[in-house]
């Protein structure tokens, strides 16, 4: 199954190509809950840093909602990164064991990307108050 | 009918609905059912629904099925995420007129979208109205768009939208992101300091930028924003 079937909003960011046809940065939308106290659904617009993919787990940042409007405890406070120099983006805390789990998956791009996006969806929909990145 | 000995005439099973992907013909699935199913149930059970919240529709014989349509066993349908709604991150301000401005950024196909009222860094959902090639570089396409909210009420008082009013300049249809149809009646008024006849003459047929002034279930009201409405008939001099 191609990723674009499930994630039609996924777009590579121009200017972040790494020369072999792949891109270092992609943007996509995922639906999650607003917070652990408010399970109303919310569209998160995410930026994924694939710098060392598929060798290591990508990083994920929230582009919108904006920092001040985020209530999800596993999304960190806004910070400037070299990926988006002109605005603050909020890094998603993927959980302590997620890197190890990622490394245990077959080292195949599609498998790892699907697993990673699955995990990301899970984080956005099940806030873990035991591992707060804000609030 | 031509019958070939030994051939098996294969028809779609009358106990399943075949769902193929509109944008990727290699992807398909079958939904087992002996009774007609709602469009949303078929989308959900096909396993082909987007997981990123993108709008999704079913099509039968090229016609988009509405939410209250049903799909019968034996029917072949297509699922598609092709949408008029696009996303954009605003990277710069393309027009500034006093405190008013138009934000611009790259649309998924590489065109430059221009959205009234959008600020740098905003991630917005937009619909395009018109587009044209850049005069400086013909490989660049500029698209005039407006934004809306995809969660809850699409428009709020104060929002800047775009529409092309009727020749009398009084009514127009605004894009409804919930149905993806141009179906919200927007009554348009002219700023008090402008002459109605003159506006009809000089702005007739153009794409207007309109500020939403009131919201009602059946109709919205808005007022023309001349400073954000491109009018080739009015030459703005530069010193």
Q: Most B CBs within 10 Å: which of A2, A3, A4, A6, as the mutation test of the B interface?
A: A6
Residues of A in contact with B78 (CB under 8 A): none
Q: What domains can you pick out in chain B, each with its CATH number?
A: 16-45+53-80 (3.10.20), 86-228 (no CATH)
Residues A53, A24: contact at Cβ < 8 Å?
no
- Rounded Cα distance between A99 and B230, Å, is 52
Residue B71 is encoded by which pair of tokens? 């799909």
Residue A103 confidence (pLDDT): 94
pLDDT given for residue B79 in this prediction: 94
Residue B214 to residue B1: CA distance in whole angstroms? 63
d(CA B98, CA B95): 10
pLDDT confidence of residue B85 = 83
SS3 B232: coil
Domain regions of chain A by residue span: 3-125
User: What is residue A90's predicted lDDT score, i.e. its pLDDT?
Assistant: 95
Give the dihedral sign, CA B196/B197/B198/B202: positive
Question: Do residues B103 and B115 make contact, with C-beta atoms less than 8 angstroms apart?
Answer: yes
Regions in chain A scoring below 70 on pLDDT: 1, 14-22
Distance CA A55, CA B9 (A): 50
Please tell me the pTM assigned to this model.
0.64
Flag if B53 and A8 touch (Cβ within 8 Å): no
Residues of A in contact with B53 (CB under 8 A): 9, 29-31, 43
Helix (H) or strand (E) holding B41: helix B39-46
Integer Cα distance of B195 and B205 in angstroms: 17
CA end-to-end distance (rounded Å), chain A: 38
Residue A9 at interface with chain B, using a CB cutoff of 8 Å: yes
CB contact A8 to B (< 8 Å): yes
Instruction: Give, as one character, the DSSP assignment of residue A111.
Output: H
CA-based nearest distance A130→chain B, Å: 26
Query: How far apart, in whole angstroms, are the C-alpha atoms of residue B115 and residue B92?
Result: 11
Given this model, what pLDDT does residue B235 score?
A: 57
C-alpha B149/C-alpha B134 separation (Å) is 29
* CA angle, B5 then B6 then B7, to 5°: 95
Q: Is B152 within 8 Å of chain A by CB?
A: no
pLDDT at residue B129, rounded to an integer: 93
A3-125: CATH topology is: Ubiquitin Conjugating Enzyme (3.10.110)
Give residue B89's pLDDT.
85
Q: What is the pLDDT along chain B (239 residues), one digit of tens a residue?
A: 444 455 444 445 678 999 999 888 889 999 999 999 999 999 999 999 998 888 788 989 877 787 778 999 999 999 998 678 888 888 899 999 989 999 999 887 788 999 999 998 888 889 999 988 888 888 889 999 999 987 668 899 999 999 999 887 788 999 988 777 788 999 999 999 998 888 888 888 899 999 999 998 778 999 999 999 988 877 554 33
What's the CA gap between A104 and A95, in Å, rounded? 15
Closest CA to B103 of A86, A30, A9: A86
The interface residues of chain B toward chain A in range 35-74, judged by CB-CB distance below 8 A, are: 48, 50-54
Who's near B44: CB < 8 A, 6+ residues apart? Answer: none
DSSP, res B59: E
Beta strand residue intervals within B138-200, DSSP E: 141-148, 160-163, 171-176, 181-189
Judged on CB neighbours under 10 Å (0-12, 13-18, 19+), A101 is middle
Q: b vs e for B220-239, b when ≥16 Cβ sit within 10 Å of the residue's Cβ?
A: bbbbbbbebbeeeeeeeeee
Nearest to A25 by CA among A81, A68, A77, A95: A81
Q: Find, among B77, B138, B141, the residue nearest to B114 by Cα.
A: B141
Give B118→chain A minimum CA distance, Å. 14
The tokens describing B157, both together, are 């008082």
| Dist. CA A75–CA B89, nearest whole Å | 20
From the list A9, A42, A64, which residue is nearest B54 (CB)? Answer: A9
Task: Give the position of tokens 């959205």.
Answer: B115
**Could you give the CA distance from residue B12 to residue B30 in angstroms, rounded to a whole number?**
10
What is the pLDDT at residue A19?
60
**pLDDT for B208:** 94
């Amino acid at each position: 199954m191609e990723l674009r079937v499930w994630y039609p909003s996924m777009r590579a960011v121009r200017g972040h190509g790494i020369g072999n046809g792949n891109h270092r940065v992609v943007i996509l939308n995922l639906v999650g809950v607003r917070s652990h106290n408010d399970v109303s659904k919310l569209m998160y617009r995410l930026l994924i840093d694939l710098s060392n993919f598929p060798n290591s787990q990508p990083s994920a940042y929230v582009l919108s909602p904006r920092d001040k409007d985020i209530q999800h405890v596993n999304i960190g406070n806004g910070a400037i990164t070299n990926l988006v120099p002109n605005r603050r983006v909020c890094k998603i805390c993927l959980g302590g064991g997620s890197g190890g789990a990622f490394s245990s998956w077959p080292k195949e791009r599609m498998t790892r990307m699907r697993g990673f996006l699955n995990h990301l969806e899970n984080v956005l929909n099940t806030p873990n108050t035991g591992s707060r990145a804000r609030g | 009918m031509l019958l070939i000995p030994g051939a098996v005439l294969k028809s779609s099973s009358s106990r399943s609905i075949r769902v193929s992907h509109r944008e990727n013909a290699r992807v398909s699935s079958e939904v087992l059912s002996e009774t007609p199913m709602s469009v949303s149930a078929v989308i959900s059970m096909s396993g082909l629904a987007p997981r990123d919240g993108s709008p999704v529709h079913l099509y039968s014989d090229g016609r988009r099925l509405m939410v209250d349509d049903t799909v019968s066993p034996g029917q072949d349908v297509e699922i598609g995420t092709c949408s008029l709604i696009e996303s954009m991150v605003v990277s710069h301000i393309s027009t500034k007129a006093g405190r008013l401005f138009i934000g611009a950024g790259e649309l998924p196909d590489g065109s430059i979208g221009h959205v009234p009222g959008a600020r740098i860094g905003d991630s917005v959902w937009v619909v395009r109205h018109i587009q044209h090639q850049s005069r400086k570089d013909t490989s660049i396409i500029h698209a005039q768009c407006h934004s809306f909210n995809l969660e809850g009420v699409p428009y709020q008082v104060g929002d800047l939208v775009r529409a092309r009013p009727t020749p009398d300049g009084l009514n127009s249809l605004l894009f409804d992101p919930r149905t993806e149809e141009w179906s919200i009646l927007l009554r348009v008024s002219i700023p008090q300091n402008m002459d109605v006849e003159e506006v009809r003459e000089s702005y007739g047929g153009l794409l207007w930028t309109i500020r939403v002034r009131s919201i009602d279930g059946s109709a919205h009201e808005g007022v023309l924003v001349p400073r954000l409405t491109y009018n080739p008939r009015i030459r703005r001099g530069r010193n």
